[in-house]
Amino acid sequence: MTKTRAHALAILREFGSAEEELLGKSVVLTDGKAGTVERVLLDESHGLRLAIAGHQGVWPVSTIKFMEG
């Protein structure tokens, strides 16, 4: 396996883990938006982004202030 392929597989594995951890969880973001995570996206420029039910747009995962246990 090439080094590039190994890096790509590691990224996809971590993305899958993030999806498992975040999908369906209730979150509050630093800007006060709150809701359930309905999608996790991988943005080549910004990294992990979240789509929150009931709100238009996506936000960086780093803006999570509180997440349901």
How much is the pTM?
A: 0.84
- Tens digits of residue pLDDT in 16-68: 999 999 999 999 999 999 999 999 999 888 789 999 999 999 999 999 999 98
Domains of the chain from N-terminus onward: 3-67 (2.30.30)
Cα–Cα distance measured from residue 34 to residue 55, given in angstroms and rounded to the nearest whole number: 9
- CA terminus-to-terminus distance, the chain: 38
CB 61 within 8 A of CB 18: yes
